[in-house]
């Protein structure tokens, strides 16, 4: 009987210590949620195979993430602000990043997602939200330095709450004896989407390839527009003013050819034989803009999964 009690103690100990955040030798044996050996070639291949029509964003993110992952002593965390209309790949690229860093990909406990309109919906609770946000970031990085934080709908976040995270993004060795310089912060937003659409449409009308757009001009227009937009959470934000956001990454509206790629990829993921007649039917069901030219998809690839269901033979 005595030996049975000892066995139970050793089985339960790793669970208790992991839950309380205390390092324990046994946790390393049972924990499969670990870092993958980062391979920039595999990362690039994954990006190019999985992301359609976003070479500007792809190249920026490939270089930025690879640079951080290969730097043994980065001066600050990587901060990327992803901008564009709905359904163009902003959320999807966070999944690609996660699966190239963690064994469990987006399901890793080290990938933390916050949705502004859900988690911080009540402005009157700002003091509580401020304390919670600080504790949330500090606690997760102190237990695992290579953490990823995804802030969705950043443009709808309280500007004062955005300022709360500034110390974690700055050029500092430590904040209360914890270094945040190996972490990744991803801000997702539709702020600037209209400007991106206008620039993309102007380029399309001139017959230019998407890759020929001036990325530096696009980034400058983005951060200037967001900084001066009173309806944006980034309005006059010190995160922009003090250059703590490393890259403002534009995601362009998708053309018809990109939607075709999305439909075929969806068929592949569902183990469906590629049916080009069905693909054409799905695309006819999708809205494009502007109405007279139908240059770009109004919804990106966002609703293609459900649209595909309407056109498949059951």
| DSSP string across 5-53 | HHHHHHHHHHHHHHHTT---TTHHHH----BPPP-HHHHHHHHHHH--S
Per-residue pLDDT band for 25 (boundaries 50, 70, 90) equals: very low
Q: How far is CA 23 from CA 108, 111, 237, in A?
A: 18, 19, 37
**Residue 108 three-state SS:** coil
pLDDT(258) > 80 = yes
| Record: fold of 40-250 | Rossmann fold (3.40.50)
pLDDT(207) > 70 = yes
Tokens of 307: 């649209």
Q: In what order do the strands lie in the sheet with 247-250?
A: 111-115, 148-152, 184-189, 78-83, 247-250
- Give the pLDDT of residue 71: 96
Contact 156, 190 (CB under 8 A): no
CA gyration radius, the chain:
22
Residues 268/274/275/276 CA torsion (nearest 10 deg): 100
Q: Domain boundaries in the chain? A: 40-250, 256-311
Per-position DSSP letters for 51-107, written without gaps between them: --S-HHHHHHHHHHHHHHHH-SS-SS-EEEEEE-STTSSHHHHHHHHHHTTBTTGGG
Number of residues written out for the chain = 314
- Give the pLDDT of residue 20: 36
Total-model pTM:
0.86
Residue among 200, 109, 189 at smallest CA distance from 146: 109
| Of 215-219, 256-260, 287-291, minimum mean pLDDT range | 215-219
Give me the residue label for tokens 């001009």.
Answer: 217
| Of 114-118, 141-145, 285-289, minimum mean pLDDT range | 114-118
Residue among 84, 77, 45 at smallest CA distance from 62: 45
């Amino acid at each position: 009987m005595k030996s049975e009690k000892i066995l139970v103690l050793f089985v339960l100990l790793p669970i208790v210590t992991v839950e309380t955040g205390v390092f324990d030798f046994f946790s390393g044996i049972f924990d499969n949620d670990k870092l993958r050996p980062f391979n920039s070639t595999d990362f690039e291949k994954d990006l190019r195979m999985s992301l359609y029509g976003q070479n500007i964003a792809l190249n920026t993110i490939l270089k930025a993430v690879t640079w951080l992952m290969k730097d043994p002593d980065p001066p600050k965390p990587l901060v990327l602000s992803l901008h564009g209309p709905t359904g163009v790949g902003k959320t999807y690229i966070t999944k690609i990043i996660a699966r190239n860093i963690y064994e469990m990909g987006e399901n890793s406990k080290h990938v933390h997602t916050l949705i502004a309109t859900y988690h911080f919906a009540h402005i009157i609770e700002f003091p509580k939200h401020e304390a919670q946000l600080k504790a949330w970031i500090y606690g997760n990085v102190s237990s695992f330095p290579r953490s990823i934080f995804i802030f969705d709908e950043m443009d709808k976040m309280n500007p004062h709450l955005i300022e709360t995270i500034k110390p974690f993004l700055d050029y500092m060795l430590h904040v209360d004896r914890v270094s945040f310089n190996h972490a990744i912060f991803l801000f997702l937003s539709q702020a600037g989407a209209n400007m991106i659409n206008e620039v993309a449409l102007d380029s399309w009308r001139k017959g230019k390839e998407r890759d020929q757009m001036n990325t530096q001009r696009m980034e400058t227009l983005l951060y200037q527009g967001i900084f001066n937009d009173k309806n944006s959470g980034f309005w006059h934000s010190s995160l922009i003013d003090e250059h703590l956001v490393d890259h403002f990454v534009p995601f362009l509206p998708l053309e018809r050819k990109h939607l075709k790629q999305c439909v075929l990829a969806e068929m592949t993921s569902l183990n469906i034989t590629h049916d080009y007649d069905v693909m054409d039917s799905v695309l006819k069901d999708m809205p494009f803009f502007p109405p007279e030219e139908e240059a770009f998809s109004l919804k990106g690839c966002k609703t293609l999964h459900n649209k595909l269901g309407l056109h498949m033979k059951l």
